[in-house]
A and B are shown apart, each in its own frame.
Chain A
Amino acid sequence: MRPLTEEESKTVFTKLANYVGKNLVHLIDRPDEPYCFRLHKDRVYYVSESSMRLAISVARPNLVSLGTCFGKFTKSGKFKLHITSLDYLAQYAKYKIWIKPNGEMPFLYGNHVLKAHLGRITEDTPEHQGVVVFSMNDVPLGFGVTARSTIDTRKLDPTAIIVFHQADVGEYLRDEETLF
């Protein structure tokens, strides 16, 4: 477990900023407790400093996880956000999309969001923008990247993809072995 290097921080924050935008500062400067990012075995954890201090007692081979895992660094040095970060993403998301109940299950099985399933979307979402996907009763289901801007989606036919799937909560069941 170690703090992120300058370069790593930059990669992580750029990625996060794609979803939460300027809300990123809220992750760093929290009103309740100081939180920090820690790297442990390629994975980036977001954890309160008090917890982090306690976790120092745990030997590296025995420490499996702490706080919330945000994602992992790939071998090529890119950062991949995991579904486990959804809680924070959903809390601070800048752009959101709500899908109808009949679109929930297809999305949770790892499919892209079609226009037919679109319930609501944040105004003026640009193209290729990271968005958090919610169900109609405000339950976060995953996140992805928009295929078209909000204005463009109006012209699309119902079967067209509007959000590319990146991660969904179904992965807790599907990818339990590889995810953690």
Chain B
Amino acid sequence: MGRRSKNKQGVPPSFDEFQARKEKKDAKRKRTEEAIAEKPAKKSKDINYAKSNDSKKTKSSKPKKNTKEEEKSEEPEDLPEVDYEELASAKKSLFDDSDEEAPEAEAEELDDEFDIGSDNDVEGDEFYDSDEDDRAKPMFSDDEDDMETLNAANMEALSRKLDEEEELEAEEAERELVEGATQPKAKILPTPEEEALLQKGPQDLTMVRTRMIEVVKVLENFKELAEEGKSRAEYTNRLLKDISEAMEFFEANEIARPITIRTNTLKTRRRDLAQTLVNRGVNLQPIGSWTKVGLQIFDSQVPIGATPEYLAGQYILQAASSFLPVMALDPQENERILDMAAAPGGKTTYISALMKNTGCVFANDANKARTKSLIANIHRLGCKNTIVCNYDAREFPKVIGGFDRILLDAPCSGTGVIAKDESVKVNRSEKDFIQIPHLQKQLLLSAIDSVDANSATGGVIVYSTCSVAVDENEAVVDYALRKRPNVKLVESGLQIGKEGFTSYRGKHFNPSISLTRRYYPHTYNVDGFYVAKFKKIAPSPHDISKAGAKEKESLARSEAEEEGIIHDDFAEFDEAEDKEIIDQTMKRNLKRKGINPSSVLNKNK
């Protein structure tokens, strides 16, 4: 390998290297400029000196490995005997140098550096090409002639210089490495106080997601990226905690919920029923302290849906989660209540039972086929105050309004009951997730309009779904709150459940949505569920409207259309004033084209 190889252009740096260098350079330049700005009074030589120092440092970092390798390969050829001690001392002096460098050591370099400094200034704003810089390096390009006449005398000095450069590079590289390692060593794990906070409320999903990604990154390269004083176990635990909620949810979706039954208090008492069923060989126990009518079945020697007690209407098979909206509704005796989506009647019969067969319950379902099971359950459980009708619930204030309470257990995607119906996982398309919330919003508005705001006992609307999707729950409730300012959310009165989300993925909902309740399969071992309880505080203009679904739809459409059109009130036009301005513009345009405006305009006239 010839000496000239040094002069050749090195391998071009990778894009990353290039970027890093550029940034560094920029930062340094800035620093220098700042320094200059700070000390404008200083002599120009000083400034140049400082600059040259900076630029030298910059330069020295540039060749990096390429030159390093070249030099290494060259050393044994040209310099068989190198005084390492001498080198070390030289290095030391170099480390010390900074601003008060020994003038004589620098003397010969100074000339060159002055040039570079000025170069730097010239190049200041231009695009920096590091390769060109490399070539402009005094050591190689300018000393070319000297190299030709290399002799034993200057050889040592030269080699020392080379070594110094190398040393500087190494130092620079090291610093870079350290910097690179420290940078992602950000604090990822939450402190104990934060942890306690996390335990409480709903978490910010984006934050959890970033944390999970960061933790995984750390675990991939634990040695270098880990925060000091933290063990691998701490990271894995955090990760597990973050994931666990989702994992628990997925796992819980695979396990069937326990079979639960609701005692029909119209016909029997829970204790009597439990005794009879135990005698039949059923292993059961009360669901929990939050309900007085629920029983949980562990195993049974007889089919639980065909015992004489079942047929006699002493109980109904009903998911524990289905108790919740009715408990929130809290029906009172002698009220008029509407169940907008009633089939198969679990909730309707519960309402009827709580009212002790007084008042009147309207059980509506849009699906005629499903009303059969609804009627069967109503009669089997001995509910005598019900009226079953088959309407699209959106028509409701038109059919009959003025209800004391309304339960809207809205049709939903069923993401809370995957354990019951696996097909939810494959059957739902994106379209469903647009259409279903739309229907739910319409239903909820209908429900609100059908309630009697002046009801002495009620004026309550309960909205529930067996879905965990925010689009079908909080978003719908928020929509209703916006569209009907005469309703407010109230405490649901349920003992269990997590607060509804007030913000989700950048959407911010009404803060009162925290009064709604969410239920997850993995936390309460009930189906995924959502309950919101409204209270109507004032009648709305919509109450008078007897419009059904179709009329309301067209009304909303025409309203939206009307909003888009700008009528006469947009702006006033002053014809005379405009004429002047138009003429002026025309003249200007003609002039610009090189035409005499007076000739053309007069001709037109």
Q: Which residue of B lies closest to A107 (CB)?
A: B308
Q: Number of B interface residues, CB 8 Å?
A: 32
B92 nearest CB across to chain A (Å)? 98
Q: Are A141 and B387 CB-contacts (below 8 A) given A51-B360, A64-B371, A169-B380? A: no
The answer to whether the Cβ of A104 comes within 8 Å of any Cβ in the partner chain is: yes
The answer to whether the Cβ of B285 comes within 8 Å of any Cβ in the partner chain is: no
Q: Identify B390's interface contact among A54, A64, A105, A180, CB under 8 A.
A: A64
Q: CA of A131 to CA of B360 in the docked complex: distance in angstroms?
A: 31
The answer to whether the Cβ of B391 comes within 8 Å of any Cβ in the partner chain is: yes
Q: CA of A179 to CA of B374 in the docked complex: distance in angstroms?
A: 12
| Residues of B124-171 contacting chain A, CB below 8 A | none
Cβ A66 vs Cβ B387 within 8 A: yes
Cβ A139 vs Cβ B375 within 8 A: no
Q: CA of A171 to CA of B399 in the docked complex: distance in angstroms?
A: 33
Q: Identify A51's interface contact among B312, B380, B387, B390, CB under 8 A.
A: B387
0/1 interface trace, chain A 77-106, chain B, CB 8 Å (1 if under): 000000110010000000000000000110
Q: Which residues of B contact A140 (CB under 8 A)?
A: 312
Cβ A172 vs Cβ B376 within 8 A: yes
Q: Are A139 and B372 CB-contacts (below 8 A) given A62-B390, A64-B389? A: no
The answer to whether the Cβ of B102 comes within 8 Å of any Cβ in the partner chain is: no
Q: Which residues of B contact A54 (CB under 8 A)?
A: 336, 360, 362, 387, 400
Cβ A141 vs Cβ B312 within 8 A: yes
Q: CA of A170 to CA of B276 in the docked complex: distance in angstroms?
A: 18
Q: CA of A66 to CA of B308 in the docked complex: distance in angstroms?
A: 25
Q: Which residues of B contact A57 (CB under 8 A)?
A: 399-400
Q: Which residue of A lies closest to B275 (CB)?
A: A137
Cβ B308 vs Cβ A135 within 8 A: yes
Cβ A180 vs Cβ B375 within 8 A: yes
| Residues of B347-365 contacting chain A, CB below 8 A | 360, 362
B361 nearest CB across to chain A (Å)? 9
Cβ B376 vs Cβ A66 within 8 A: no
Q: Are A64 and B388 CB-contacts (below 8 A) given A69-B379, A173-B306, A180-B372? A: yes
Q: Are A169 and B375 CB-contacts (below 8 A) given A51-B387, A64-B389? A: no
Q: Which residue of B lies closest to A55 (CB)?
A: B387
A63 nearest CB across to chain B (Å)? 6
The answer to whether the Cβ of A67 comes within 8 Å of any Cβ in the partner chain is: yes
0/1 interface trace, chain A 44-69, chain B, CB 8 Å (1 if under): 00011011001101110111111111
Q: Are A104 and B308 CB-contacts (below 8 A) given A65-B378, A176-B372, A180-B376? A: yes
0/1 interface trace, chain B 295-315, chain A, CB 8 Å (1 if under): 000000000011011011110
Q: Number of A interface residues, CB 8 Å?
A: 38
The answer to whether the Cβ of B503 comes within 8 Å of any Cβ in the partner chain is: no
| Residues of B396-434 contacting chain A, CB below 8 A | 399-400
The answer to whether the Cβ of B384 comes within 8 Å of any Cβ in the partner chain is: yes
Q: Which of B306, B368, B389 has the most CB of A within 10 A?
A: B389
Cβ A179 vs Cβ B371 within 8 A: no
Q: CA of A137 to CA of B280 in the docked complex: distance in angstroms?
A: 13
The answer to whether the Cβ of A6 comes within 8 Å of any Cβ in the partner chain is: no
Cβ A66 vs Cβ B400 within 8 A: no
Q: CA of A105 to CA of B386 in the docked complex: distance in angstroms?
A: 30
Q: Which residues of A contact B311 (CB under 8 A)?
A: 108, 141, 168-170, 172-173
The answer to whether the Cβ of A157 comes within 8 Å of any Cβ in the partner chain is: no
The answer to whether the Cβ of B382 comes within 8 Å of any Cβ in the partner chain is: yes
0/1 interface trace, chain B 10-49, chain A, CB 8 Å (1 if under): 0000000000000000000000000000000000000000
Q: Which residues of A contact B373 (CB under 8 A)?
A: 176
Cβ A67 vs Cβ B386 within 8 A: yes
The answer to whether the Cβ of A177 comes within 8 Å of any Cβ in the partner chain is: yes
The answer to whether the Cβ of B516 comes within 8 Å of any Cβ in the partner chain is: no
The answer to whether the Cβ of B60 comes within 8 Å of any Cβ in the partner chain is: no
Q: Identify B385's interface contact among A48, A58, A87, A135, CB under 8 A.
A: A48
Q: CA of A169 to CA of B380 in the docked complex: distance in angstroms?
A: 8
Cβ B389 vs Cβ A62 within 8 A: yes
Q: Which residues of A contact B371 (CB under 8 A)?
A: 64-65, 180
Q: Are A63 and B389 CB-contacts (below 8 A) given A141-B308, A170-B311? A: yes
Q: Which residue of A lies closest to B365 (CB)?
A: A64
| Residues of A118-170 contacting chain B, CB below 8 A | 135, 137, 139-141, 168-170
11 of the cross-chain contacts (CB-CB < 8 Å) are A54-B400, A64-B371, A64-B390, A65-B386, A67-B385, A69-B375, A83-B379, A108-B311, A139-B308, A177-B372, A180-B372
Residues of B in contact with A (beta carbons under 8 Å apart): 276, 305-306, 308-309, 311-314, 336, 360, 362, 368, 371-373, 375-376, 378-380, 382, 384-391, 399-400
Extra 16 A-B pairs, beta carbons < 8 Å, given A57-B400, A108-B311, A176-B376: A51-B387, A54-B360, A62-B389, A63-B387, A64-B389, A65-B375, A65-B387, A67-B384, A67-B385, A87-B384, A108-B308, A140-B312, A172-B380, A173-B306, A177-B372, A179-B376
Residues of A in contact with B (beta carbons under 8 Å apart): 47-48, 50-51, 54-55, 57-59, 61-69, 83-84, 87, 104-105, 108, 135, 137, 139-141, 168-170, 172-173, 176-177, 179-180
**Minimum-distance CB pairs A-B, first 6:** A169-B311, A84-B379, A57-B400, A65-B388, A64-B388, A180-B375
